[in-house]
């Protein structure tokens, strides 16, 4: 059975595990601490980043977008449409969600790994501005939720899960359509909710 290295708060890990579950691919979740990477983890990914999918043959696959493409191939297009235009739309949606996660993580890491007196407010403002634009774009035109969703839809939901974990009460302001979208997603695909970002175990 394939293994997926993950950390509970990671939106990229959430996206990959949700995608595998949606595609009907059984996997073993391997809890991984990126702050204390062991030799076995670094052998799987020398970058020391998650998620990593390890195939039954022992091949390591990373990063998250590479993994969703791999999952799509082995599931015979369960995650991306065959139609070129629709596929591009799904890939663009995934890229927007991942980019939003990148800016939010940059914001979180600045505060987590530097003492407060060294925080660069201009950097924080720049990253938050990117996040606001991405959230506003999604709120203005939330992606439709058909019976068959794509990795793009899943990436957006994983990203909003991270928003709720790290920026609860802040990202939702003025974005009621996007909040409702997340609720509809959970109602339509309750089997994926367990993989959303959450605080790590104590």
What predicted TM-score, i.e. pTM, was given to this entire model?
Answer: 0.95
11-21 confidence digits (pLDDT tens): 999 999 999 99
Q: Give mean pLDDT in consecutive 10-residue pieces for the chain, a chain of 202 residues.
A: 97 98 98 92 96 97 97 97 97 98 87 71 86 97 96 98 96 97 98 96 74
Domains of the chain as residue ranges with CATH: 3-74 (3.40.30.10), 84-195 (1.20.1050.10)
Judged on CB neighbours under 10 Å (0-12, 13-18, 19+), 84 is: exposed
- Do 75 and 25 meet the contact criterion of CB atoms below 8 Å apart? yes
**C-alpha span between 40 and 187 (Å, rounded):** 38
């Amino acid at each position: 059975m394939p293994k997926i290295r993950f950390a509970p708060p990671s939106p990229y890990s959430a996206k990959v595990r949700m995608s595998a579950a949606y595609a009907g691919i059984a996997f073993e979740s391997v809890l991984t601490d990126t702050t204390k990477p062991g030799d076995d983890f670094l052998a799987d990914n020398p970058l020391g980043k998650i998620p990593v999918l390890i195939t039954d043959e022992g091949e390591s696959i990373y990063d998250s977008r590479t993994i969703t493409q791999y999952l799509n191939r082995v599931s015979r297009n369960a995650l991306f449409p065959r139609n070129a235009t629709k596929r591009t739309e799904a890939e663009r949606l995934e890229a927007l969600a991942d980019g939003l996660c990148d800016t939010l993580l940059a914001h979180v890491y600045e505060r987590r790994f530097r003492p407060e007196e060294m925080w660069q407010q201009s950097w924080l403002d720049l990253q938050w501005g990117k996040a606001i634009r991405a959230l506003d774009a999604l709120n203005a035109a939330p992606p439709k939720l058909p019976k068959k969703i794509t990795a793009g839809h899943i990436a957006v939901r994983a990203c909003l899960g991270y928003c709720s974990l790290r920026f609860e009460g802040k990202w939702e302001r003025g974005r009621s359509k996007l909040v409702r979208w997340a609720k509809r997603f959970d109602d339509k695909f309750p089997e994926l909710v367990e993989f959303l970002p959450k605080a790590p175990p104590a």
